[in-house]
Amino acid sequence: MTETSSNGVVAYDVADGIAWVRFNRPDKRNAMSPTLNRDMMEVLDLLEFREDVGVLVLSGEGAAWTAGMDLKEYFRETEALGLAGTRKAQRESYGWWRRLRWYQKPTIAMVNGWCFGGGYGPLFACDLAFAAEEATFGLSEINWGILPGGGATKVAVELMPFRKAMYHAMMGENIDGATAAEWGLVNEAVPLETLRARVIEVANVLLKKNPVALKATKDAVRRVSVMSYDDAEDYLVRAQEAANSYDSDGRKEGIRQFIDEKSYKPGLGAYDKDRAG
């Protein structure tokens, strides 16, 4: 059953271990307003530790994923309130993107349509990203006289080669989903008609993994990217020790099924986390 946030601008439902969360302003191409940003944090709070949620998928209602920030509500109306209004709106938007980057459960962006500007924030915040080949990506900020802010420039540089990031940010030209995959903005692009099925396929693989190990892994990938090799090496030792303290039995069960039972091969799939010897 589909439910909505307090103000109706975020829709969500849970089925078979997957939380399907959707920007729900289709008439505005799902542009992110201050109200939507507050509601998204509300929904993330509700879903993060639910036992029936193992993976979160972020998508959009209608023909857009999100067209970025709502120029009227996020910019003009908050700027009219002075610096205090601007900073409040920034905290609310950046806040839920940050929450999504470090979310307890694996997250997947399912980009079904338009993805512009500020939308690169939640795009990067998701652990994995899959797009429709027909989707449209763009950093249009340069076309109306500002730089790609709100983390968008950082996302471009993190995910794309330097020359492609520079071209994308400076030219204000759009690219399709297939090009977004080629440039590194998303993992894969598939026809829109098969996008949901592909995301379900990936989510079902993740649901079979040890959730403590998944959380440690996704945090580690984000953390070590800004560390020296020696610092990363030390961090990863401590991160595994911390994970062991939460789930030592799960790790031992995986080793037992491989060594004692010979019931699986780690290079070919995951151990059965739902049973113990």
182-196: per-residue pLDDT in tens?
999 999 999 999 999
**Nearest-angstrom CA–CA distance, 90 and 102:** 18
Please, what is the end-to-end C-alpha distance for the chain in angstroms? Answer: 37
Sign of the dihedral through C-alpha 112, 152, 42, 47: positive
11-68: per-residue pLDDT in tens?
999 999 999 999 999 999 999 999 999 999 999 999 999 999 999 999 999 999 999 9
- The yes-or-no verdict on residue 247 having pLDDT over 80 is no
User: What is this structure's pTM?
Assistant: 0.94
Question: Please, is 137 exposed, middle or buried when counting C-beta atoms within 10 Å of its C-beta (0-12, 13-18, 19+)?
Answer: buried
Strand partners, 130: 110, 188
Would you say domain 3-207 falls under CATH 3.90.226.10?
yes
Q: Which residues contact 5 (CB under 8 A, 6 or more apart)?
A: 11, 12, 24, 39, 40, 42, 43
In the numeric block, which tokens belong to residue 133? 């080949």
Query: Where residue 152 falls among pLDDT bands split at 50, 70, 90?
Result: very high
254: closest CA among 236, 272, 267, 268? 272
- The yes-or-no verdict on residue 248 having pLDDT over 70 is no
Q: What's the one-letter identity of residue 233?
A: E
